[in-house]
Amino acid sequence: MEKEEYLDLYYQMVLIRRVEEAAAQLYQQGKIGGFLHLYIGQEAVSTGLISARQPQDRVITAYRDHGVAINCGIPAKKVMAELLGKTTGVSKGKGGSMHMADVSKNFWGGHAIVGAHLPLAAGLALGDQYLENDAITICMFGDGATNIGYFHEALNLSKVWNLPVLWVCENNRYGMGTAVERASAVSEIRQKAEGYCIPNDCVDGMDVLKVRQAAEEAIRFVRQNNSPFFLEIETYRFRGHSMGDPERYRKPEEVKKWEENDPIGIYRNHLIAKQIASEEELDLLDEKATKETAEAVQFAETSPEPPPEALFEHVYADVS
């Protein structure tokens, strides 16, 4: 990997963190409505994962999607504008936090019904297989999503039809307030892939380089074999499930322990220890991310509200 690439991974993670910290504030000020699910703590997962894809590879995820959107190359300002419901947002202010997508970046959303996008991912891969495209689909979902029927139907089909899809479970140990062990018969989620004879791996999601390496191998496998692969990524969300979560289900000490494993801190130390980058270089990137975030907020706040006509646009693709 070139130095630039190392630094780029760092920058993406810091940018996601800053953007979400700003979003949390805007939420508290009432400028963002609805649900806001922060990705803070999990940044290394999508950053490492998506850095390993080819541009033709598709990405689809659940509602915890701001980080994924940024990793897919959507400018922070368009993410922020969507959070504020502005016309300049990625989904033109119609989707909000949970429903971001940018087809031009091969990012297929942002889906808020738990597990419902897994069958869609199987279908995206089916389309590519059918059209003989050299593309794979990367489908991200939470541990909680592996308990709904959609998950099992999609995995099974992907194996039976040899669909080029990479299933990525972000195991952050909780689905809302329910710990994995309380909801899933197996707490090592990859075992579920075994049940469908899908080759699998498990990786530490707090280490962006490990994620990237595992993702590279997994993506290569899917592309070469034209068949599914399952990657479990162990991670943790530092914030509540969404804003306003009373967090009665976990102890502050547990959160604190994980926060010591901050993926950004780990990576920063690594870059310095391996002399890939200096403190000063990284500080500059931190500043740059802070600046880009401030600009994104400014852009979003000064962007126009959607006009009333927008309400009736896009109900159907066929005009008239």
Partner 1 sequence: MAKITMREAISQALWEEMERDPNIFILGEEVGVWGGTYAVTKGFYDHFGAKRVRDTPIAEAVIVGAAIGAALAGTRPVAELMTINFAFSAMDHIVNEAAKLHYMFGGQFILPLVIRTVGGGGRQLGATHSQTPDAIFAHFPGLKVVAPGTPEDAKGLLKSSIRSNDPVLFIEHATLYQTRGEVPEGDYTIPIGFSKVQRPGRDVTIVTYSKMLETSLKAAEQLAKEGIEAEIVDLRTLRPLDMGPVIESFKKTNRAVIVEEGWRSFGVGSEVASRIYEEAFDYADAPIQRVAQKEVPLPYNRNLEQMALPQVEDVITAVKEVL
DSSP secondary structure letters along 105-174: GTEEEEE-STTTHHHHHHHHHHHHHHTT-S--EEEEEESGGGGSHHHHHHHHHHHHTT--EEEEEEE-SE
- What distance in Å separates the CA atoms of residue 119 and residue 76, rounded to the nearest whole number? 29
Give the total of residues touching partner 1 (CB under 8 A): 42
CB nearer to ligand TPP: pick between 113 and 186? 113
Please report how close the Cβ of residue 235 comes to Mg ion at its closest, in angstroms.
Answer: 9
Does 24 help bind partner 1 (rule: CB under 8 A)? no
Does 175 help bind ligand TPP (rule: CB under 6 A)? yes
What 3-state class would DSSP assign to 22? Answer: helix
Locate tokens 């990625």: which residue? 90
Pick one of 80, 145, 215, 233: the residue that binds partner 1 (CB under 8 A). Answer: 145
Please report how close the Cβ of residue 153 comes to partner 1 at its closest, in angstroms.
Answer: 11
Q: Which amino acid is at 285?
A: L
- What distance in Å separates the CA atoms of residue 204 and residue 59, rounded to the nearest whole number? 20
Instruction: Tell me how far the alpha carbon of residue 132 is from its chain's centroid.
Output: 27
Please report how close the Cβ of residue 245 comes to partner 1 at its closest, in angstroms.
Answer: 9
Does 66 help bind ligand TPP (rule: CB under 6 A)? no
Please report how close the Cβ of residue 115 comes to Mg ion at its closest, in angstroms.
Answer: 12
Does 177 help bind partner 1 (rule: CB under 8 A)? yes
Q: Which of 160, 74, 148 is nearest to 118 (CA)?
A: 148
- What distance in Å separates the CA atoms of residue 257 and residue 138, rounded to the nearest whole number? 30
Does 94 help bind partner 1 (rule: CB under 8 A)? yes
CB nearer to partner 1: pick between 12 and 146? 146
For residues 101 and 95, is the Cβ–Cβ distance under 8 A? yes
Choices 8-16, 107-115, 120-128, 302-310; region in contact with ligand TPP by CB under 6 A: 107-115
Residues 6+ apart with CB under 8 A from 261: 206, 236
Does 113 help bind partner 1 (rule: CB under 8 A)? yes
Per-residue 3-state assignment (H helix, E strand, C coil) for 191-213: HHHHCCCCCEEEEECCCHHHHHH
Choices 6-14, 96-104, 274-282, 287-295; region in contact with partner 1 by CB under 8 A: 96-104
- What part of residues 217-276 is at the interface with ligand TPP (CB under 6 A)? 241
Q: Which of 33, 5, 46 is nearest to 237 (CA)?
A: 46
Does 85 help bind partner 1 (rule: CB under 8 A)? yes
CB atoms within 10 A of CB 278: 11
Tell me the per-residue interface mask from 182 to 221 with partner 1, x by CB under 8 A, - otherwise.
xxx-------------------------------------
Pick one of 174, 229, 230, 258: the residue that binds ligand TPP (CB under 6 A). Answer: 174
Residues 6+ apart with CB under 8 A from 119: 150, 153, 154, 157
CB nearer to Mg ion: pick between 98 and 297? 98
CB nearer to partner 1: pick between 179 and 272? 179
Binding positions for partner 1, rule: CB under 8 A? 33-35, 85-86, 91, 93-99, 111-116, 144-145, 147-150, 175-178, 182-184, 246, 248-249, 305-306, 308, 310-312, 315
Residues in contact with ligand TPP by CB under 6 A are 64, 112-114, 142-145, 172, 174-176, 241
